[in-house]
Amino acid sequence: MLPQETIRRKRNGEPLSREEIARFIAGITDGSVSEGQVAAFAMAVWFKGMAREETVALTLAMRDSGDVLDWSDIDRPIADKHSTGGVGDNVSLMLAPIAAACGLAVPMISGRGLGHTGGTLDKLESIPGYTIMPSAALFRRTVKDVGCAIIGQTAALAPADKRIYAIRDVTATVDSVPLITASILSKKLAAGLRSLVLDVKVGNGAFMADAAEAEVLARSLVEVANGAGVKTSALITDMNQPLADAAGNAVEIANCLAFLKGEKAGTRLERIVLAFAAEMLVSSGLEADLAAAEAKAMRALSSGAAAEVFGRLVHALGGPADIVERADTYLAAAPVIRPVFAAESGYLASCDTRGIGLAVIELGGGRSRPDDAIDHRVGFDRLLPLGTRVERGMEIGRVHAANEADAARGVERLGALYRVSAEAPASAAEILTRISA
């Protein structure tokens, strides 16, 4: 069937067969389907959706567009975690080394920024020398020797997804449940996982702003992954404010290193990271219950074992051996750093989290087109959490910018994205729902 016929049928809301989907994905892989046709297909799916059987077929076709890894020579449970995307969401950077320090093997295939959300790979490229696209041999050796590796999609792993992913980013087709499900799971299934934990975010900084929509996505992911033989659960988490106290690339790496050195204890970020570590340990069978698993993860963090693993990971993939100890030496600083002050006294009641993500892009820390270069230095840090009591003129965050004009715009932009109230807001739970098969 011609690609345009597949697009037409989906545009008209007709169900696509497994064979039809497989042929279309094969065309994306070999280049016989054009970029415009991929964009049209993505938009048709966005409007008309896909039945569960179609989503499974799409996921498996994208998985089988390249190699599927085999980790049978590694004597550790093979596990991973994936987030649907948020602002200031650097959880994977700390979670992978914590999980590895607890005895898991974590071959993490990550992505770049998508829409207003940051990308793990873009953050890691802030580290000089870090290889996000290692050879298959180096990737395998790093997972075996260090316990984890965080890399990008190689040409051999789910290549159809890599092409679709870049096009979705710039065609307003990111927030489609079937496309998100197939994109996430095709990479994870190709990575040869035995268990998977999903972070499905909901709120004004997530692709899913509605709790009911987030649950639909979480159930889609869990059902499709379990149906494909990977033990999977999901936590629906709050994204109504940045998760870390930083949003950007180098600033989130700095936050990660501070976290691993114990400097972010008691934060929302720590509670989320430890919760996902516990899920991974229980799902993989290394621990019997979540309380014991979380205690084990906390020991890996507080003992410095996780920080050591992160340092070994960076060095194994080409970065400096002493990144943990000498981060300031290696992470490039923005030329202009300016504080942002509260315009009035009261409590930080709410913020436009998506707006913060877009403001990072406006500073140069994200992309408007797939081939845009990123300035890894720019972004925001020292962001205060919602509920904080502030006085007029008190610092609520900082802007990292390439020049004075960008800094001035960033200061004005960030200040306008927070609302101060005379009353303290109700505290929000970080984890809203847990979903399992």
What amino acid is encoded at 400 in this protein? H
Q: Could you tell me which residues come within 8 angstroms of residue 234 by beta carbon, excluding any fewer than 6 positions away? A: 197, 198, 199, 200, 218, 219, 221, 222, 434, 435, 436
- Selecting among 10, 23, 63, 82, the annotated active-site residue is 82
Q: Which is catalytic among the residues 187, 338, 376, 398?
A: 187
* Cα–Cα nearest to 185, from 156, 150, 226, 215: 226
Catalytic residue among 84, 120, 154, 284: 120
**∠ CA 409-112-21 to the nearest 5 degrees?**
130
Q: How many CB atoms lie within 10 A of CB 426?
A: 7
Q: How far is CA 210 from CA 20, 174, 175, 176, 250, in A?
A: 32, 15, 12, 13, 30
Q: Is 59 helix (H, G, I), strand (E, B) or coil?
A: helix
Helices (H) and strands (E) in the chain, counts: 17, 13
Q: Of 23, 55, 59, 80, which one is the catalytic site residue?
A: 80
- Which of the following is catalytic: 183, 186, 237, 353? 183
DSSP 8-state symbol, 334: P
Q: Which tokens is 216 given? A: 């639909």
Q: Is 80 marked active-site?
A: yes
Q: Strand locations in 32-178, DSSP E? A: 79-83, 106-109, 148-151
Element (H, E) at 338: strand 336-341
**Paired tokens of 405:** 């004009």
Catalytic hit among 163, 188, 264, 268: 188
Residues 249 and 270: their CA atoms lie apart, in Å, by 19
**DSSP, res 77:** -
User: At how many degrees (to 10) do helices 91-101 and 250-260 cross?
Assistant: 30
What gap in Å lies between CA 198 and CA 409, rounded to an integer?
Answer: 36
Out of 63, 112, 163, 168, the active site residue is 168
State yes or no: is 83 an active-site residue. yes
DSSP E strands, 211-335: 231-238, 247-248
Catalytic-residue membership of 413: no
Residue from 55, 65, 83, 237 carrying the catalytic annotation: 83
**Hey, what are 27's tokens?**
């065309």
Tell me if residue 82 is catalytic.
Answer: yes
Catalytic option among 10, 23, 63, 81: 81
Which single residue is written with the structure tokens 């913020």? Answer: 351
Phi, psi for 306 (deg, rounded to 5): -70, -40
183 catalytic per annotation: yes
SS3 371: coil
- Give catalytic status of residue 120 as yes or no: yes
Query: 188 an active-site residue?
Result: yes
**Residues with a known catalytic role:** 80-83, 120, 168, 183, 187-188
